[in-house]
Amino acid sequence: MPTYQLRGEVPRKRHIQFRENGTLLTEEVVGLEGFTGNESILYHLQSPCRIRELGAFKAIERDEWIPSAHAHRHFRTADIPAAGDAVTGRQLLMWNADVEISLCRPDGAREGFYRNGEGDEVIFVHEGSGVLETIYGDLPYAEGDYVVVPRGTTYRFAPQGPQRYVVFESPGLIEIPRRYRNAYGQLLEHAPFYHRDIHPPTDLRTHRERGDFEVTVRVRDGYQTYVLDYHPFDVVGWDGYVYPWTFNINDFEPITGRIHMPPPAHQTFAGRNFVICSFCPRKLDFDPLAVPIPYHHSNLNSEEMIYYVSGNFGSRRGIEVSSVTLHPSGIPHGPHPGLAEKSIGLTETHELAVMCDTFHPLRLTKLAKGMDDPAYAYSWYEEDGAAAPSPEEDPAGVTSHF
């Protein structure tokens, strides 16, 4: 999506004969929006339609938790058990018609291959590194990466070391915000990242291997398994704009100001009715009268989910690394009592967090119920004279957003 890329061998023109050892290769156009969106053209050794066996279809079941009260929520996710692989290990936390947000701590690699046939994916790598092996080539990833996987990409994770992800999946497109790009797609000077920060697949490895290869494809709100008789990564070359890529959160260049910058300044991705933002270490507001932490706000039609990646959140009551907060629509939220006053004079913050704002309500799963901190809804309440939380031990630990 970010720029034109080419890997391996492709013919001089599209849609002309392209042979290997006299055999005509199979050209596949992988495109969006009925041949009017971005596309890539792949050249296969075998037809990608060659299914030897149709496997089972398994519908997705979501175990919903409907809380008895509408309130701000805090979920402690650090101890979520490791399970499954990078796909089967996704544990749905919240969702709506536009986005599903899952946590994942895989405890092993996957034998077979996976393809999301009905959604784009952004996988935030909180812990771990490895290689996402894809039909477009190898995509190395590391801690702090957003791994962006467009729909239709066949892949398999090759993880190295313990892994922990937050996974966003959407039936809509997940894109770089339009306002960051010019009419030709180039990232503008005011954008908080540039093309050099975006990493497409490195090496294309063409697999010439017969056998049984299982590919699980997410379609129609379920998982369909197919068995192919040839390795799915049989591409000798491809070019175009559709491919997976990574962007590291630490390459996000924070935008700061004399007075408070609103969350859109931190936007990293645009989805259908949602955004993903990166809150990174940065200098805080520098006006002599600035209040460095945010004003209370009622985002009346937004739901605000934040995943706390690193930093000292001690001044935010009960929040720890891997915590998730959800500030739902319809009610106000803001800094805890006393913090606005105590933040005055702070010059920087060291926190790192990922936020997803949705424009329609999110539903919760029973997983969320099991990790719910019921005290959080009351954490703004104080008996008269009670002590405010103190950021003094680590002033830079004051949570500077939400």
Residues that bind Fe ion (CB under 5 A): 304, 402
What minimum distance in Å lies between the beta carbon of 358 and Fe ion?
12
Cα angle: 65, vertex 71, 76; to 5 degrees: 65
What minimum distance in Å lies between the beta carbon of 333 and Fe ion?
6
Select 120 or 304, whichever has its Cβ closest to Fe ion.
304
CA distance 258 to 92: 39
What minimum distance in Å lies between the beta carbon of 190 and Fe ion?
23
What minimum distance in Å lies between the beta carbon of 401 and Fe ion?
7
143 close to 150: Cβ distance less than 8 angstroms? no
CA distance 276 to 1: 17
> Residue 179: what are its φ and ψ, rounded to 5°?
-70, -10
Select 181 or 333, whichever has its Cβ closest to Fe ion.
333
Q: In this structure, how many other beta carbons lie within 10 angstroms of the beta carbon of residue 259?
A: 11
Provide CB contacts within 8 A for 130, sequence distance 6+. 140, 141, 157, 158, 159, 160, 161, 163
Select 40 or 349, whichever has its Cβ closest to Fe ion.
349
Name the residue with the smallest CB distance to Fe ion: 402
For 308, the token pair is 């706390």
Select 245 or 279, whichever has its Cβ closest to Fe ion.
279
What minimum distance in Å lies between the beta carbon of 252 and Fe ion?
18
What minimum distance in Å lies between the beta carbon of 304 and Fe ion?
5
Select 121 or 304, whichever has its Cβ closest to Fe ion.
304
CA distance 222 to 130: 27
* Cα dist from 139 to 9, 19, 106, 165, 319, whole Å: 19, 27, 18, 16, 33
Select 216 or 400, whichever has its Cβ closest to Fe ion.
400
